[in-house]
Structure formats: C-alpha cells, structure tokens
Amino acid sequence: MPFFPAHKLPLAVLGLVLVALPFLFGGKYQLSILILIGISAIVCVGINLLVGVAGQISLGHAAFFGIGSYASAVFTGDYGWNGILAMFAGILITSVLAATVGWPILRLKGHYLAMATLGVGLVIQLLLIQEAGITGGPDGRAVKALTIFGLRVKGEWAWYCIVAGALFVVVWGAQNLMSSPWGRALRALHASEPASAAAGIDVHQMKVAIFAASAGLASFAGSLYAHALAFVTPDQASFLHSVEFVVMIVVGGLGSVYGSLVGAAILIVLPQVLSSLSDYENLAFGVLLILVVYLLRKGIVPTLRLIAVGGGR
Amino acid sequence: MVDFLQFLVAGLSQGAIYALVGLGFSVIYRATHIVNFAQGEFVMIGGLGTAGALSFALPMPLAILSALVAGCVAALVLDLIVIRLARFAPALLLIIVTIGASVALRGAAQLAWGRNFHSIPSPFGSEPLHVYGVAIMPQVILILVTTVGAVVGLQWFFRRTRFGQAMLAAAINPTAASLVGIELRHVYTATFLIAGLLGMIAGLLITPLAMVHFESGLAFSLKGFAAAILGGLGSVPGVVAGGLLLGVVESLSAGYVSSAYKDAIAFLLIIVVLLTRPEGVFGRRSTGRV
Amino acid sequence: MSGLSINDLKVHFGGIRALDGVDLTFGSSGIHALIGPNGAGKTTLVNAVTGVYAPTAGRVLFDGHDITGLPAHKLATLGVTRTFQNLQIFWTMSVLENVLAGFHLDSSAGFLRGLLRGPALVRRERELTTAALGLLRLVNLEAKANNPADALAYGELKRLEIARALAGRPKLLFLDEPVAGCTQSEKCDLAEVIRNAARESAVSVVLIEHDMRLVMAVSDRVTVLAQGRILSTGTPSEVRADPKVITAYLGTTQSHLAEQVHAVAG
C-alpha cells in the first residue's frame, strides 16, 4: 500500500494551489478575480459532467445560475431568511425546475436539445427582467451580506476562503462521481445509448439526474455570486453567459474536471487583460477563442495530459 | 379584425426576415452539418455596412454594394476557418468556433462603424399605405416580395442549375459527390457565400424599419436558428414556414398577450413543437438502425 | 413457465409487415438460432422483443411476466439483454471498463454513493473488477483488459460485446449476428466463446446469424423466418431436411446461403 494513493494526487495539488494563490495574488482586485474564477469553476464542473461526460448540450445553464442568485437576493432581502437557508432553497427550486423541464426536453438530441435549452434559458431570463416587482427588473437589485452562524462574511479574504473551500469540495465530489459506477454509466450513455440500456442503465433518468444536479450546482454558485458581489442583474442569466460557461469547458477540456477550472480561469482573466485594448476587445477575444479551439482541439488539460503521457514513455 | 390584420402583417414581415436568416442556417447545415451561430452577424453587416457607406455620402447602390463586399469577405473567412475544423471537430466545438467568429465580427463591426445605432432610408419613403384600415409600410411590401424572390431564386438555383444540383448532391453524400468530380471545397465556399448573402439581404430589408448596431446580430442568430429548427433544418419551404410562424406568433402574442413576453411565448412554442415533433414541423422523421 | 414466449407478434412499418404474426418460444437454456434471408424480420424480432420498437400487436412473456414493449433497461433488470449487429461499444473506455459498465445493475450505482465514494463502493468495485476479468478470460481478452476499446480488432470487439452482455448475468441473451464481418479464424473463436458462455453462464442464447456453418455447429434448435413469418422450427437436422427451408433459400437471390445450406446438409 503506497503512502499516498496516486489518484488523490491531483486533489492534493489543487488544495495546495488554492492555499497558495491568495498569497501570490493578494491584492483586493486580484482576490476578487480569483473569487469570480472559483464561482465560475463550480458551475463549469457541473456543466462539464452534463456536456463533456454525458454528452448532452445545454445553452441555458446561466438561467439556473440566475435563479440561484435571485433566490438568495429575494429570500434574504424580502423575507429575512438566513442566507444558508436561502441558498439551499435556491438549489432545491432550481433542481426541481431543471428536472421538470429536463424530463421532456432531454428526449431531444444534438442541435434540437441545444435549441430547447436555449429557449428555456431565454424564458427564465425574461421572467427575471419582467417581474420587476420581485427581481428589480433589468437593472437588478442589491443583495444582503451573507451571515454564517451570526458572523457577517465581509471582504475579499473571507469570500476567497468560502469560494475556494466550496470549489475544493465540489471537485472532490465530481472526482468521486467520475470514478464511481454512476459516472461510468454517464460516460457509457454518451458512447452508446442502446448498449447502455441493454446493460440496465436507465439512460433517460440519468440524463435528467445530471441535468438537475448540474443546475443545482449552478444555482449554488449563483447564490455565492449574489452575496459576494452584493448585487445581481438579469445579465447573469443571459444566453451569452450560458455560452461563456460552455466555452470555458471546451477551452479547458470536455469531460475533464480540472479542465473546467483551467477554462474558467482563462475565460475570466482574458477579458480583464483584453479590456485594456478597449475597442479591440471583442475582436481580439473572438480571434483568440477561434485560435484556442484550433490549436487545442481536445481542450487544454487533456492536451497537456497527452503531452505528459507521451513524454513519459 | 383590423387589429388582427395589422398584427398579422407585422408578424409576416418580421417572420420573412427570420426565414431569410433561418435559410442561411439551413443552407450551411445541409451542406456541412454545422450550425453557424455567426449567421445573424450578416444581418448586422448588411444593415450597418450600408449605413456606414451612406455616411460617406456614397449613393445607395454603391453603399449596398460595399456592404455586400464586406459581408462576402466575412463569409469567405468564416468558410476558411470553419471548414478546416469540420473534418475532425465534434459538433459542440464547431458551435463554439462559430460563436467565436460572431464575437470577432461584432468586434470588427464596432471598429468599422462605431457603437451607435444606424438606420437606412426606405426606397419607398416612410409614409404608410392604408388597405382596409390596415396601415402598411411600403418597406413591408418590399420585404415580403424580396423574400419570396429570394426563396424562389434559391429553389431555382438548387433545382435548375448545374452547380446547385452539385451542391445538393454534395450535401446528400459528400463522398459519392467528390467521386463523380464535384469539388467539395467550392461547394462549401458557395454555401457560405449564399448564407451570407441571405443574411445581408435580411439586414438590408429590416434596417429601414428597425435600427441596427454592432450587437444586433445575436438576436437574429437566435431567431434564425429557431426558425430553422422549427422547419426541421433541412427543407427550404419548412424553414420559410418556420420563420413566418415564429414572426406571426411573436406579433400576435405582443398584440394580444404581452409585448414584454412575446419572446417567451415564441420560445415556449418552439419547445412544445420540438417535443411533439422532434424533427421540426416539416422535418422528416428518421429511424435509427441498431 | 420459464423462458420467453412470443405470441402472435406483429410489427408493421407503415404498409410494410416486417413481422406478421410470429409465435415462438425460447427455453431457459441452450442455444436457439434464428435464421432466414435478409429482410426476413430477424433483427426486427429482436428489436421488438428488446424494447427498441413497440410491437404493433401481440404479446411477449418472459418467465411468466408480460414484457411486451418494456424499455431495454427494464428488460435488463429481468435478465433479458442483447448484443448489436452494428457494434455498440463504449469507445471512450478501456476494455475492462466496458465490461464493468455491463455490471451496472450489480454495482453501487447510486448518485450519492458515487459522490461520497465510501469503502463499501470501493470494495464492490474490486469484486466486480475480478468478475469482469473472469469474463474477459472467457472471451480470451484478459490480456487486453487495460487497452482502450478503440484499439481492439473487429473480432475482439465482437467478443467484448458478448462479455459485456454476460456481465449483466442474463437469463436470456440475444446475439445479433455475432460473427458478421469476421474472418474464418475469428468465427471459430466466437463459436467457442458462444458455446462456453451458454454452458458456463447458464444463459439461454438466441443466435441471429447468416453463417450456416456456425448455426448448425452450435445450435440446439433452429427457427427459420421468412417474410415476417415462421417457416420452420426444430433441431438443426430437422430444419435442414425441411423442403420448405431449402425452397425458401433457393427462391431468394441469396443463392450463396442456399449453397451453404446444401453444403452443410449434404
């Protein structure tokens, strides 16, 4: 029995990186970027299980992120609920909604599923914009600070610790899931639905389950976002934000848990860097996106792994 | 009744625009199995490009020509990028690349034509005609006539010309088509040019009624994709019907239910249609073989 | 009663009667071959019984349960599974993982259990890995257990499908053209595998096959389908002596099959 099991190594490295990062980039602004990366990474881990592992396209997950944000804003702000309670209520509402919507639409495949998820996302965003009495309308609304056991979470350091801790747990769970029979069944149904069904896998039920679970995770991240930034707008639920999540996992690597983190980091940092280009920002971003897909077809993390394995031989 | 007709006319003209964009999706999808999310950007280029050229006091025909040239260059670049990837990349990656391309085109448009909203004048002025109490802008008639013309032209091209037939053959079976000497490279290039032109025609038609700016393309991409999906992606009449249906439903919901939720109603309709007819209203059902 | 009984099964596609009233029983052990010219309805029968299409009419009973139109994953829980005419391999997985996926119903496949990955799950996975390696030994693929599935040769993939299907501990296993496209030596290997599987796993095998030599060599019973109906059924020697069968094969354009029947019969 080795002293330290090899499959736990990446998780240990992640832990070390998460601890080291704030000491390397400890400025207020840098920390706030790290927080944003962590929140997006949590969403991406879930979407990657849905899109990368199970092969079911979603162009509407930002809407679930949005529901989480608004659940936290509304339940804490208008009903005086505890922030943690509001967060779990958001996760529950989102997962149930996703399962209800997902049950019919996950019978669709490919571009048709893309269209249906896109439609669901747009409808939810429209509700968030139009029901201004509750949501504050297109301009968004302020969110109360999160209190945990009577302590108000304040400042970048506190938020970094919460987000990093949450991300660590999410990655741990996703890794477990991926190496479990459930995760194997998820990969199997992506590869061949008829063969999966013949092996006793309830393909449709699994699709709905991972759709709901990834939506719940997006909702959780949305709640963190709402409290961390103390403000929410319907833009968080937009089609472009949904696409951004998908771009993150494609860039990082479809089906790779750590790829989700790398993709989120790149897609959050890149616009910050490019914003110095002002008018050239969109053009540069679009061209870079095409180049990344061109050069790293499998995504960054799987490509690096291939290089590492090739070099080790 | 007058209200209904008024909404119907508005819906049909908006739907004709969606149909043109949807046809662009359909033409590219049929030939390459790629969903090109940059399709709506051609609408923006058609409108903004013309408006931009007009601001340099170019005469209208020259302004339109310059916009068309800009859009065709964009279509050629897109063709070059996407088709190279299409050989080995999965569908999702291709969608991402076309989204990347649409962001880049948006960025280029922002540099070329700025961030402001622009319009172009209608050749028939802005005085509405009154038919049985229904106010109809002359531009609306132009939209409907041009759309019919474009669809008929497209059908004629695919059915009656040698090159159009070659394109259809290549779409059905690329391997067989290239064996009988059809140059697939040219087919793909032509496909992107046709899709680009359809989008730009839509842009030229809609800009006199609705102003455009560099971010207008996305909305057209979404609606055009929806129209194409409603029609089952593959068939020209299906996509046209899908576009018109989408436009009319939107306009009637705006008129009778809520203008705020017109998009929601339209997209809910699409989802319901997909669930009851997963291959689109006019698409053909295929039975997989296992 | 045990085994599968099919009563007056009909499958129509529009105006085409792919199956036109089939009555058939498969016992709870042995190898039962289903043969017939192309388009006779063999694969349609498998698809209609295993939940790919809903039958137009008729009933299918398995061990006394009505399983008509049940989806494939429910059938798997009852012990009915299949392989596929066109390979359906989990290409992104290793050979071993393909077989492990076949153990799905026996594994700790819950979402929460997977998320927490407790010691019970790890222990169960170890047991299943041992069992999967045993099945790979049965089909002669043990040495390639850790290879990616897409690195296997065609005949090996056909054997892998059989191993994966056996992992579900089926009582009834449909093999849809298991040797189609294989070389002669691969066919011999597969005949051996099928015979061993039927004997060691106590599974009733329904073999859909064009290769007469294989069918006659391994089957306990043979049923001949033609144009959606049963033409003849019996032991291999009864069927090859049946004049209706000879005529049916000679009457089709597939004269090579007729020759095969003659060759084996002669």
Q: Which of A178, A124, A150, A219 is nearest to A11 (CA)?
A: A178
- pLDDT for B270 equals 85
Q: Read off the amino acid at residue A141.
A: R
The chains found to touch C (3+ Cβ pairs under 8 angstroms) are A, B
Residue A200 belongs to domain spanning:
30-238
- pLDDT for A109 equals 86
The answer to whether A300 and A263 are in contact (CB under 8 A) is yes
| Closest residue, chain A, to B37 (C-alpha) | A243
Give the percent of chain B with pLDDT over 70.
95
- pLDDT for A198 equals 95
Of B81, B93, B271, the CB nearest to A250: B93
On average, the pLDDT of chain B sits at: 88
Residue B248 has pLDDT above 90, yes or no: yes
pLDDT digits (tens, 9 = 90+) for A9-31: 889 999 999 999 999 998 899 99
Out of A252-256, C18-22, C103-107, pick the least confident. C18-22
pLDDT digits (tens, 9 = 90+) for C104-151: 999 888 899 999 998 999 999 999 999 999 999 989 999 999 999 999
Cβ-Cβ contacts under 8 Å for C38 (sequence gap 6 or more): C254
pLDDT category at C266 given cuts 50, 70, 90 is very low
Segment B91-117 shows an average pLDDT of 89
pLDDT category at A3 given cuts 50, 70, 90 is low
- pLDDT for A185 equals 97
ipTM value? 0.89
- DSSP state string for chain C: --SEEEEEEEEEETTEEEEEEEEEEE-SSSEEEEE-STTSSHHHHHHHHTTSS--SEEEEEETTEE-TT--HHHHHHHTEEE--SS----TTSBHHHHHHHHTGGGS---HHHHHHT-HHHHHHHHHHHHHHHHHHHHTT-GGGTTSBGGGS-HHHHHHHHHHHHHHT--SEEEEESTTTT--HHHHHHHHHHHHHHHHHTT-EEEEE-S-HHHHHHH-SEEEEEETTEEEEEE-HHHHHH-HHHHHHHHHSS-HHHHHHHHHHH-
Residue B289 has pLDDT above 60, yes or no: no
pLDDT digits (tens, 9 = 90+) for B144-195: 999 999 999 999 998 889 888 988 888 888 888 888 888 888 889 999 999 9
Tell whether A250 is covered by a domain: no
Please tell me the CATH superfamily of domain C1-79+172-266, with its number: P-loop containing nucleotide triphosphate hydrolases (3.40.50.300)
Segment B102-119 shows an average pLDDT of 91
The minimum CA-CA distance between A147 and chain B, rounded to whole Å, is 36
Segment C18-38 shows an average pLDDT of 89
Domains and CATH numbers, chain B: 2-276 (1.10.3470)
Q: Which of B65, B16, B1 is nearest to B250 (CA)?
A: B16
Residue B121 has pLDDT above 70, yes or no: yes
Residue A8 has pLDDT above 90, yes or no: no
- pLDDT for B174 equals 85
Question: What end-to-end distance do the CA atoms of chain B give, in Å?
Answer: 53
pLDDT digits (tens, 9 = 90+) for B53-80: 999 989 999 999 999 999 999 999 999 8
The chains found to touch A (3+ Cβ pairs under 8 angstroms) are B, C
- pLDDT for C200 equals 81
Tell whether A258 is covered by a domain: no
Choose from A177, A180, A201, A306 for mutation: most chain C CBs within 10 A: A180
Segment C214-220 shows an average pLDDT of 89
Q: Which of C196, C208, C126 is nearest to C166 (CA)?
A: C196
Segment A267-280 shows an average pLDDT of 86
pLDDT digits (tens, 9 = 90+) for A22-74: 999 988 999 999 999 999 999 999 999 999 999 999 999 999 999 999 999 99
Number of A–B residue contacts, CB under 8 Å: 120
Q: Read off the amino acid at residue A276.
A: S
Residue C253 has pLDDT above 80, yes or no: no
Distances from the Cα of A52 to the Cα of A14, A47, A125, A181, B143, angstroms: 21, 8, 25, 17, 42
Q: How far apart are alpha carbons A273 and A279 in whole angstroms?
A: 13
Tell whether A289 is covered by a domain: no
Q: How far apart are alpha carbons C257 and C224 in whole angstroms?
A: 13
pLDDT digits (tens, 9 = 90+) for C64-79: 889 998 999 999 999 9
Find the radius of gyration of the CA atoms of chain C.
19
Find the radius of gyration of the CA atoms of chain B.
19
Q: How far apart are alpha carbons B230 and B190 in whole angstroms?
A: 25
pLDDT digits (tens, 9 = 90+) for A139-163: 999 999 898 887 888 889 999 999 9
The minimum CA-CA distance between B11 and chain A, rounded to whole Å, is 20
- pLDDT for A150 equals 78
| Residue C221 touches partner A, C-beta closer than 8 Å | no
pLDDT digits (tens, 9 = 90+) for C145-171: 999 999 999 989 999 999 999 999 999
Residue C187 has pLDDT above 90, yes or no: no
The minimum CA-CA distance between C106 and chain A, rounded to whole Å, is 10
- pLDDT for C251 equals 59
Q: Could you give the count of Cα atoms lying within 13 Å of B124 in the half-sphere of its Cβ?
A: 13
Segment C243-262 shows an average pLDDT of 64
Instruction: Considering only residues B276 and A103, tell me which one the structure prediction assigns the higher pLDDT.
Output: A103
| Residue C118 touches partner A, C-beta closer than 8 Å | no
On average, the pLDDT of chain A sits at: 92
Cβ-Cβ contacts under 8 Å for B87 (sequence gap 6 or more): none
Residue B197 has pLDDT above 60, yes or no: yes
CB contact under 8 A, A287 and B104: yes
Residue C257 has pLDDT above 90, yes or no: no
The answer to whether C222 and C239 are in contact (CB under 8 A) is yes
Instruction: Considering only residues A227 and C179, tell me which one the structure prediction assigns the higher pLDDT.
Output: A227
Domain with CATH 3.40.50.300 in chain C: 1-79+172-266
Interface of A with B (CB under 8 A): 51, 57, 104-105, 107-108, 110-112, 114-116, 118-120, 122-123, 126-127, 130, 194, 239-240, 243, 246-247, 250, 254, 279-287, 289-290, 293-294, 297
pLDDT digits (tens, 9 = 90+) for C225-251: 988 898 889 998 888 888 888 777 765
Tell whether A256 is covered by a domain: no
Q: How many domains are contained in chain A?
A: 1
Tell whether A155 is covered by a domain: yes
Segment C60-66 shows an average pLDDT of 91
pLDDT category at A6 given cuts 50, 70, 90 is low
CB contact under 8 A, A201 and C101: yes
pLDDT category at A104 given cuts 50, 70, 90 is very high
pLDDT category at B284 given cuts 50, 70, 90 is low
Question: Coil, strand, or helix at residue C24?
Answer: strand
- pLDDT for C255 equals 52
Backbone angles phi, psi at B197, to 5 degrees: -60, -45
